[in-house]
């Protein structure tokens, strides 16, 4: 904290050969034991789900708490090449109850000019009854050791809290969809200058998407989406580098039960929605967008118990490759149309609100699409990697707000 930006990017501590990495697990307080969770076992995913749904992140007034579904966790924790050792739990020795968790999944990250393997650390959680006993630092040290044992010495993670030292800070924005419910649960309110009826009218979305050639992404699109994604992400200072298998996993594998008959825009168990725009003549995929489902428990509400929230995930458009598109407004216009259709689909799929952060090119369309600034911030951190701050909420060093960050963490 407070240090000047480094002159050169690079690691802080050098990597070590495996035999120089500590070989014994870090000690836990007595009565607790380490437990690697088998995410292929539905019983064990359910244990993680139960722990997180009662003890994970809440908003400042303890009105909402993230409720990652079991299907979501399975999708998020098992990308191609995942390591089971990085799904790390702590159990009470006597009754084996799961009381803490932390996870990592492998990613390839590009930060400015450097590309390296890293782990994406997520879902750190300690049971409410075991807080403030310094269990979190032990979990963090142990997952770091597990990463080091497999030759990974860098990590990326996000947190609402400020720790030493964020590489970027982004703000959450919210696009209301289901106004009556959002008002009922006090997620939003009717401003003094408006009536409820007018507010409902203002936020109403169309019944069907507008873009010609828009359809759900399919297996046959994987290579074109991967190519478009890779080219588009060059715009950002920090971004994931994905293989074809990773693109398939991130955008297709969470589509829910494909066999089951379902309502038009949502399948049972669906966690991710990905749509492409196909040019009817050339059959080229010109654009894509995706969003995922992350509901929150509404704590202590007499009528509603679940806030259905969609979160903007990755997107790309080939408009960006036209010279001048960024300055003459055509890029922002295209992104507004794309994400505008995402809002329509999310509304039809039963989401109450659509969330996005001030990262990638989002700042250019949030206002146009009636997103409002939230009070939550998300800090981005790199472990054992030095780089100058990346443009997030604020523009930095000639890079526009948001455009430093091209990583969306689940
Ligand atoms: C975050 C959580 C695991 C911390 O556990 P805790 O019992 O409150 O705190 P502990 O006594 O174990 O550890 C305190 C240390 O953890 C650090 N810490 C707290 N939250 C952290 C986070 N999100 N990431 C990394 N470190 C964190 C604190 O800074 C403190 O370290 P310091 O003394 O060096 O400053 C726990 O509060 C929790 O499960 N919260 C709900 C879920 C959540 O917010 N998860 C993190 C999502 S990013």
* Statement: residue 262 has pLDDT above 70: no
Indicate the pLDDT class of residue 402, thresholds 50, 70 and 90: confident
pLDDT value for 392: 85
Mean pLDDT of 193-213: 97
Ligand 1 pocket list (CB less than 6 A): 55-57, 124-126, 131-137, 159, 161, 163
SS3 assignment, position 401: coil
pLDDT tens-digit readout, 178-190: 999 999 999 999 9
pLDDT tens-digit readout, 296-311: 999 999 999 999 999 9
Percent of the chain with pLDDT over 70: 100
Annotated catalytic residue, options 52, 124, 335, 410: 410
* C-alpha span between 253 and 386 (Å, rounded): 34
The mean pLDDT value of the chain amounts to: 96
φ, ψ of residue 24 to 5 degrees: the values are: -100, 145
Q: Which residue has the higher pLDDT, 364 or 400?
A: 364
Ligand 1 centroid distance, CA of 122 (Å) = 12
Ligand 1 centroid distance, CA of 150 (Å) = 25
Ligand 1 atom closest to Cα of 135? 12
Ligand 1 atom closest to Cα of 136? 12
* C-alpha span between 338 and 25 (Å, rounded): 48
pLDDT value for 393: 83
* Statement: residue 148 has pLDDT above 90: yes
* C-alpha span between 285 and 288 (Å, rounded): 8
Residue nearest atom 39 of ligand 1, based on CA coordinates: 125
Ligand 1 centroid distance, CA of 348 (Å) = 37
Indicate the pLDDT class of residue 3, thresholds 50, 70 and 90: confident
* Statement: residue 29 has pLDDT above 90: yes
Ligand 1 atom closest to Cα of 158? 48
Within this chain, domains 18-159 and 168-383 share the same CATH topology: yes
Ligand 1 centroid distance, CA of 287 (Å) = 39
Mean pLDDT of 178-203: 97
DSSP 229-281: HHHHHTTSSEEE---HHHHHHHHHTTS--SSS---TT--TT--EEEEEEE-TT
> Is there a contact between 149 and 365 (Cβ–Cβ < 8 Å)?
no
For a mutational test of ligand 1's pocket, the pick from 76, 136, 142, 297, i.e. the residue with the most ligand atoms closer than 8 A to its C-beta, is: 136
Q: Is 410 a catalytic residue?
A: yes
**Fold (topology level) of 18-159:** Aminopeptidase (3.40.630)
* Statement: residue 397 has pLDDT above 90: no
Mean pLDDT of 21-45: 98
> Is there a contact between 252 and 222 (Cβ–Cβ < 8 Å)?
yes
Alpha-carbon radius of gyration of the chain: 21
Residue nearest atom 9 of ligand 1, based on CA coordinates: 132
> Is there a contact between 63 and 298 (Cβ–Cβ < 8 Å)?
yes
φ, ψ of residue 389 to 5 degrees: the values are: -55, 145
Indicate the pLDDT class of residue 87, thresholds 50, 70 and 90: very high
Sign of CA dihedral 217, 223, 224, 229: positive
pLDDT value for 34: 98
* Statement: residue 10 has pLDDT above 90: yes
pLDDT value for 88: 98
The residues pairing with 309 across neighbouring beta strands, listed in sequence order, are 353
Domain ranges of the chain: 18-159, 168-383
Residue nearest atom 46 of ligand 1, based on CA coordinates: 124
* C-alpha span between 113 and 136 (Å, rounded): 33
Tokens of 57: 């992140």
- CATH 3.40.630.30 corresponds to the domain 168-383: yes
Buried b (16+ CB within 10 A) or exposed e, 368-388: ebebeebebbbbbbbbbbbbb
> Is there a contact between 255 and 275 (Cβ–Cβ < 8 Å)?
no
Residue nearest atom 10 of ligand 1, based on CA coordinates: 134
* Statement: residue 261 has pLDDT above 80: no
Mean pLDDT of 67-79: 98
* Statement: residue 408 has pLDDT above 70: yes
Ligand 1 centroid distance, CA of 313 (Å) = 26
Ligand 1 centroid distance, CA of 35 (Å) = 20
Residue 41 CB-density burial (10 A; 0-12 exposed, 13-18 middle, 19+ buried):
exposed
pLDDT tens-digit readout, 362-372: 999 999 999 99
């Amino acid at each position: 904290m407070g240090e000047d930006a480094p002159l050169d990017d690079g690691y802080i501590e050098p990597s070590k050969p495996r035999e120089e990495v500590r070989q014994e697990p870090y000690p836990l307080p007595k009565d607790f034991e380490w437990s690697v969770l088998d995410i292929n076992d539905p019983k064990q995913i359910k244990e993680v789900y139960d722990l997180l749904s009662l003890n994970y992140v809440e908003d400042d007034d303890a009105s909402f708490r993230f409720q990652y579904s079991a299907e979501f966790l399975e999708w998020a924790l098992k990308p191609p090449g995942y390591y089971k050792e990085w799904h790390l739990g702590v159990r009470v020795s006597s009754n084996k109850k799961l009381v803490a968790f932390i996870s990592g999944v492998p990613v390839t990250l590009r930060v400015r000019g450097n590309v390296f393997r890293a782990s994406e650390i997520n879902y750190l959680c300690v049971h409410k009854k075991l807080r403030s006993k310094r269990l979190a630092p032990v979990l963090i040290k142990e997952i770091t050791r597990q990463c080091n044992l497999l030759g990974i010495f860098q990590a990326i993670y996000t947190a609402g809290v400020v720790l030493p030292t964020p590489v970027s800070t982004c703000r959450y924005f919210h696009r209301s969809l289901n106004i009556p419910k959002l008002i009922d649960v006090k997620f939003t309110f009717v401003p003094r200058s408006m009536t409820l009826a007018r507010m409902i009218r203002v936020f109403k979305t169309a019944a069907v998407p507008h873009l010609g050639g828009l359809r759900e992404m399919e297996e046959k699109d994987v290579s074109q989406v991967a190519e478009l994604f890779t080219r588009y992400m060059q715009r950002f200072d920090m971004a994931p580098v994905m293989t074809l298998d990773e693109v398939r996993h991130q955008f297709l594998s969470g589509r829910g039960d494909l066999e089951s008959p379902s309502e038009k825009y949502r399948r049972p168990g669906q966690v991710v929605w990905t749509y492409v725009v196909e040019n009817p003549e050339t059959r080229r995929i010109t654009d894509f967008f995706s969003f995922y489902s992350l509901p929150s428990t509404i704590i202590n509400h007499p009528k509603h118990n679940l806030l259905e929230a969609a979160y903007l995930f990755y997107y790309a458009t080939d408009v960006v490759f036209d010279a001048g598109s960024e300055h003459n407004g055509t890029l922002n216009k295209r992104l507004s149309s794309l994400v505008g259709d995402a809002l329509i689909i999310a509304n039809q799929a039963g989401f109450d609100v659509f969330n996005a952060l001030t990262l990638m090119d989002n700042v250019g369309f949030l206002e146009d699409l009636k997103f409002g600034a939230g009070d939550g911030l998300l800090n981005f951190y790199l472990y054992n990697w030095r780089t100058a701050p990346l443009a997030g909420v604020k523009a930095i060093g000639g890079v526009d707000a948001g455009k430093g960050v091209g990583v969306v963490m689940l």
